[in-house]
Amino acid sequence: MEHTEQLERIKVPALAWILVAIAAIGVYAVSMDNGALLGNMAGTAHELFHDARHFVGAPCH
């Protein structure tokens, strides 16, 4: 007879999910965005994020 253990669910606070979402948006902005996300300040932000992409080793061109 096989014995299987029941796993307990872990409650993750809502704040943790919010922080994960913010981090995901930040990673997108730094690694993939080409200015569309930031609208009016796109030129300056693009240059800042472009340098950040080079710093973390993400391919950008």
Residue 58: what pLDDT? Answer: 72
Residue 23: what pLDDT? Answer: 92
Does residue 29 sit in helix, strand or coil? helix
Residue 4: what pLDDT? Answer: 83
Q: Which two tokens stand for residue 56?
A: 């973390």
d(C-alpha 51, C-alpha 56), whole Å: 9
How are the residues of the chain apportioned to helix, strand and coil, as percentages rounded to the nearest 5? Answer: 60, 0, 40
Instruction: Encode pLDDT of 3-56 as tens digits.
Output: 888 889 999 999 999 999 999 988 777 667 565 666 666 677 777 777 777 787
- pTM, entire model: 0.52
DSSP state of 9: P
Residue 38: what pLDDT? Answer: 63
